[in-house]
């Protein structure tokens, strides 16, 4: 299997970034034994895999790594505390310019047309319909300054604004007892998250960046921002959201990245 090299746009030391990512992932876990356990399991199945480049085309190795990754999903879900918050930062700490990243270069950023845009909401929801951007903007919004960590070796602080995703899910009558929320993006990226993270108070259906409508490179017209999850779990250019009990996987996750990908 040919794997894309996940681009590293900035020169931040990889070990420092991984250490920071491990800290993010271990931050909420108080007993030292649990922290050690999580860090050990991440070393095996999570962060060491996340570069996406060390995996060979040996299917036995891949199968083993997938098993370890799924084990870590379960361990991390078990350790996840929906009431603990990720750190927030003062606006003076915002990283300028904020880095761009995707599985392609910045010259290939998808241009989504605002007038024609409709967000599709399907699956286990009472109100399956399409939303215009104006309708999304009419819902109560909130701003949040948080740190984004990309496993490729950089992290940056940014300010995102939007609708708390829990409010949106309740508004569409989502079955919040379902296991997964899946996302399909305009650039054919896709990912999925666990329901407790979808309902986390800091998970934002994001319409703005730094007080302006979300620019194309950061995911216009809409992205999901979760400060409790690593960068690749935060889908940009979302076109469709679906609630399901069937594991939907993800673009990087299907290539061996850890599915839970957060804390
Ligand atoms: N639609 C889409 N979403 C995506 C990606 C992508 O390639 N396509 N890349 C992910 C990765 S790996 C990162 S680090 C962040 C980068 O977001 P940024 O451009 O706002 O920094 O977007 C995530 N969401
Ligand atoms: Mo990333």
d(CA 197, CA 262): 9
Query: Hey, where are the domains in the chain?
Result: 1-263
Among 109, 219, 229, the mutation site with the greatest number of ligand 1 atoms within 8 A of its Cβ is 219
Beta-carbon-side half-sphere exposure of residue 15 (alpha carbons within 13 Å): 0
Q: Which ligand is nearest to the CA of 215?
A: 1
- Mean pLDDT over 233-239 rounds to 98
Distance 185 CA to ligand 1 centre (A): 11
Nearest CA to ligand 1 atom 9: 102
Does position 6 have pLDDT exceeding 50, yes or no?
no
pLDDT, residue 75, reads 72
Residue 169 · residue 198 · CB < 8 Å: yes
For 78, 96, 159, 236, the CA distances from 156, given in Å and listed in that order, are: 27, 9, 10, 16
Distance of CA 33 to the CA centre of its chain: 27
Confidence class of residue 84 from pLDDT cuts 50, 70 and 90?
A: confident
pLDDT, residue 37, reads 47
d(CA 157, CA 42): 23
- 1-263 folds as Sulfite Oxidase; Chain A, domain 2 (3.90.420)
d(CA 99, CA 13): 15
Phi, psi of 48 (to 5 degrees): -65, -25
pLDDT, residue 222, reads 98
> Could you read off the pLDDT of 120-169 as tens digits, one per residue?
999 999 999 999 999 999 999 999 999 999 888 889 999 999 999 999 99
Distance 31 CA to ligand 1 centre (A): 33
């Amino acid at each position: 299997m040919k794997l894309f090299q996940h681009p590293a746009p900035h020169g931040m030391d990889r070990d420092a970034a991984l250490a920071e990512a491990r800290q993010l992932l271990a931050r909420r876990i108080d007993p030292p034994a649990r922290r050690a356990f999580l860090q050990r399991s991440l070393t095996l199945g999570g962060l060491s895999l996340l570069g996406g480049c060390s995996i060979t085309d040996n299917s036995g190795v891949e199968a083993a790594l997938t098993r370890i990754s799924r084990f870590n999903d379960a361990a991390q879900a078990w350790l996840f505390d929906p009431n603990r918050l990720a750190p927030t930062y003062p606006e003076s700490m915002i990283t300028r310019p904020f880095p761009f990243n995707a599985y392609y270069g910045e010259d290939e950023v998808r241009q989504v047309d605002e007038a024609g845009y409709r967000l599709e909401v399907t699956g286990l929801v009472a109100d399956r319909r399409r939303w215009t951007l104006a309708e999304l903007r009419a819902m109560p919004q909130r701003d949040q300054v948080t740190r984004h960590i990309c496993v490729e070796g950089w992290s940056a602080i940014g300010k995102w604004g939007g609708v708390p995703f829990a409010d949106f899910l309740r508004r569409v009558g989502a079955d919040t007892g379902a296991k997964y929320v899946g996302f399909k993006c305009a650039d054919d990226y896709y990912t999925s998250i666990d329901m407790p993270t979808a309902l986390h108070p800091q998970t934002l259906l994001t319409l703005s960046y730094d007080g302006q409508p979300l620019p194309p490179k950061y995911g216009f017209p809409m992205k999901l921002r979760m400060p409790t999850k690593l960068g690749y779990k935060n889908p940009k250019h979302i076109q469709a959201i679906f609630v399901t009990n069937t594991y939907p996987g993800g673009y990087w996750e299907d290539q061996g990245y850890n599915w839970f990908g957060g804390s």
